[in-house]
Amino acid sequence: MIVDWETCIGCGLCVEACPIQAIQLVKKGKKKKASISETCVDCKACTKFCPKEAIRSDSLPKERRVRCFSCPIQCLILEGYTGACQRFINRNGELIRNVPLQRYEDVSGIVGKDHEEAIRKPLITGIGAGTTYPDTKPAPYIVQSKVEGVDVVTVVTEAPLSYSGIKVKIDTDIPIGEEGAPILIGKRRVGHVCTEEYGSKILSLGGVNLLTGQDGMVVAKLISDIANRKEVKLNVKEGAELILQVGKPPVINGRIGTKMRVGCGSASMGLFGGYFLEAADEVIVLDSHLIGLFTEHAAGRELGARYSGIKLKARQSTPGRYFGEHGKGWGGTNIENPLDITIIRNQIS
């Protein structure tokens, strides 16, 4: 690939896009321009990002290069370097797998030692093999046999990126935005806020429509980064700014989310009813999904609690269970003062 320096504006998007760090910004007079090194493999990822179409293909010298046919991109790989996927390296004119195949024995300790049933142990695995779609080449390994009378077929399948998506579950009580709100990287839409599950927020990222759209390369990189446990920065339209990384607490509007509810207000009644009974005459759990009123709830009645007579300013679902309203107050509701949820208390003789 070569750069037309007359057209290049030095925005740096191609630098971010290059999967093998073959592009850098260099001083050209008083301005910075993109420069592509000889390690370029002609994957053309940079051309998808360039807003000025300043990058175009050039005839790479074939000496010391090997063309990879493992996927439709068909990188031209310089000796001693990898292709765009970084799975194969050119060693003396031969492509050698850079990421080894994983056998069952290599991963069995990770998934646990409880899988002793015959069907649980595959005859062969090809974790890390990779393939493409559609492709005339079949999956690298297909094996069938009988194990303790069970027909077992093990096959390595493809993962077509154009249809890939990823769901991200954020364990937090902190509001991030309205359900259905677009999720953005800069001004590029990469997904939407999907739903909530007991306080956790679910993000839907990628999918065929976004991946095949104008910003598909940005979406593809995001999916890859999340799956590879890299830090990603997102923002919800008219909502929160997010910094997410698998295995680490989310950072929401600069605030680290370290807590989440273990269940809705109703579930809390069943989980902690015994403690509630000992702690107070009445317990109200404020929750944006279901508010719990202990002595009216089935769990409270089961444990012998007497109904306190308290009425709540909320829509009742079933006895002791009330629908909450979303907000930035207690339990993710719109209640700023806990006492505001109550209407009246009747004396029970």
- Of 63, 18, 79, nearest to 44 by C-alpha is 18
Q: Does 348 score more than 50 pLDDT?
A: no
DSSP per-residue codes, 174-226: S----TT-EEEETTEEEEEEEEEETTEEEEEEE-HHHHTSTTHHHHHHHHHHH
pLDDT score, position 115: 47
pLDDT score, position 69: 85
203 bridge partner residues: 168, 193
Whether the pTM exceeds 0.85: the reply is: no
Helix-then-strand count for the chain, H and E = 7, 22
Is residue 349 very low, low, confident or very high in pLDDT (cuts 50, 70, 90)?
A: very low
- C-alpha 263/C-alpha 327 separation (Å) is 18
pLDDT score, position 234: 97
Q: Does 143 score more than 80 pLDDT?
A: no
Is residue 239 very low, low, confident or very high in pLDDT (cuts 50, 70, 90)?
A: very high
- C-alpha 347/C-alpha 349 separation (Å) is 6
Q: What is the pLDDT of residues 255-282, one digit of tens each?
A: 998 877 778 899 999 999 999 999 999 9
Is residue 323 very low, low, confident or very high in pLDDT (cuts 50, 70, 90)?
A: very high
Is residue 317 very low, low, confident or very high in pLDDT (cuts 50, 70, 90)?
A: very high
What domains lie within the chain, and their CATH numbers? Answer: 2-96 (3.30.70.20), 104-155 (no CATH), 161-256 (no CATH), 265-341 (no CATH)
